[in-house]
Amino acid sequence: MVEMEGRYPCGDCDQVFESKKLRATHAFHEVHMRDSTCIGCYKVFNTPHSLSLHKTLHKSHQLEAAAKIPGSGPNAEVIRQFSEMELNASQLGHSSTARWRGSEGAALKQRPDHAYPWVSPAQTGGIYAQLQSEVLDRSRRVSEGFPFPGQIKPKSRDFSVSNLPQSPPEPGAGRARGYAALVLDCEMIALEDQVQDLISLSVIDFLSGDVVLNALVQPTGRVKDWRSRVTGVNPAVLRAAKEDPRQTVLRGWPEAREQIFAVADAHTVFVGHALPNDLEILRIATDRAVDSVVLTAQAAFGRAAARFP
């Protein structure tokens, strides 16, 4: 197999690619060159044994990098998690049953391999370990306005227990284990009593990119402002969605929270932008949250930055 700049042929078919990365992606999509391609750096080896030795070297570099997460110093827990991850590229097959492991007790969903085929199991484990290192502590969640269990908001219309923020359920027997990490995005409208309400919800599996839930939500009161320029929803859109069997319309934020709790548990990491707003509208309280607003402020102004100036 002859290689030259800009021409990287697949050893198992007639396709030629402009870069090694594109060839590696093709290899793991089509189950080609599976025993000779490194998914981490896209190099091709003559024998599976050579690839195995190369991956061992990769693993040592990953362990070293994991111990130096910015702002955290040496992290033995991250190293332990990395050491648990398999580097066997054959696990990336479409019918793979590889399961992702995190810290003790964290139950991770089976990884759907069709989403990020160019990311190896060890790399996914590293991403998850890095994500856990960014989980906000209690003091930061307080300063950012995250909801806490049983907390009553000043503008709340309903002080019943069911209306208060609740934590995701603990994993247990007879209950499906939750996703390791979920990305949340909510759109809100304004009701006549100046209270915000949920109008749409998207939930994505952080580790695979799979869409877990994408639905409109029936408001729980009379709407004053649909905020259509932002939400993309108006009465006609909501009415059409209800009449379309292919679309999902949830019955208010209570059913939206119920749907999330069906796929999450107390170990699930919730990820979002301005996440306190989404968790507040869903009445969800969690101690495992990563907010991109905080990460951006830290990147721009240092890890001690409380908020944007």
The tens digit of pLDDT for each residue in 248-289 reads 999 999 999 999 999 999 999 999 999 999 999 999 999 999
Sign, CA dihedral 165-170-174-177, equals positive
Domain shared by 158 and 217, yes or no: yes
| Distant-in-sequence contacts of 230-233, Cβ < 8 A, 24+ apart | 230/187, 231/187, 231/188, 231/189, 231/199, 231/200, 232/187, 232/200, 233/187, 233/189, 233/199, 233/200
Q: Stretch 69-92: mean pLDDT, rounded?
A: 41
Domain shared by 52 and 107, yes or no: yes
Dist CA 115 CA 208 (whole Å)? 5
Best mean pLDDT range from 111-115, 163-167, 274-278: 274-278
Dist CA 202 CA 197 (whole Å)? 15
Best mean pLDDT range from 13-22, 87-96, 100-109, 239-248: 239-248
Residue 3 inside a domain? The answer is: no
Tell me which of 98, 133, 168 is where a domain ends: 133
Residue of 136, 260, 247 whose CA lies nearest to 205: 260
HSE-CB at 235 with a 13 A cutoff on CA atoms is 4
Residue length of the chain: 309
Relative orientation angle of helices 252-263 and 275-282, to the nearest 10 degrees: 110
Q: Stretch 65-69: mean pLDDT, rounded?
A: 45
pLDDT digits (tens, 9 = 90+) for 200-255: 999 999 988 888 999 999 999 999 999 999 999 999 999 999 999 989 999 999 99
Higher confidence at residue 88 or residue 21?
21
The pTM is what? Answer: 0.64
pLDDT number for residue 301 = 80
Q: Stretch 141-160: mean pLDDT, rounded?
A: 75
Structure tokens at 149: 């269990």
Residue 4 inside a domain? The answer is: no
Higher confidence at residue 154 or residue 96?
154
Indicate whether 28 pLDDT > 50.
yes
Dist CA 33 CA 165 (whole Å)? 50
Q: Structural domain tally of the chain?
A: 2
Tell me which of 91, 108, 133 is where a domain ends: 133
Task: Report CA-CA distances (Å) from 244 to 198, 247, 249, 254, 282.
Answer: 20, 6, 10, 22, 25
- Report angle CA 219, 221, 222 to the nearest 5 degrees: 105
Dist CA 68 CA 258 (whole Å)? 38
**Residue 92, domain extent:** 20-133
Indicate whether 46 pLDDT > 60.
yes
Contact (CB, 8 A) for 143 and 276: no
Tell me which of 133, 154, 182 is where a domain ends: 133
- Residue 284, φ and ψ in degrees, nearest 5: -115, 130
In percent, the amount of the chain with pLDDT more than 90 equals 41
- The CATH number given to whatever domain includes residue 276 is 3.30.420.10
Dist CA 188 CA 271 (whole Å)? 18
pLDDT number for residue 197 = 95
pLDDT number for residue 106 = 36
Indicate whether 109 pLDDT > 70.
no
Q: Pick the range with the lowest mean pLDDT from 20-34, 80-94, 266-280.
A: 80-94
Domain shared by 112 and 227, yes or no: no
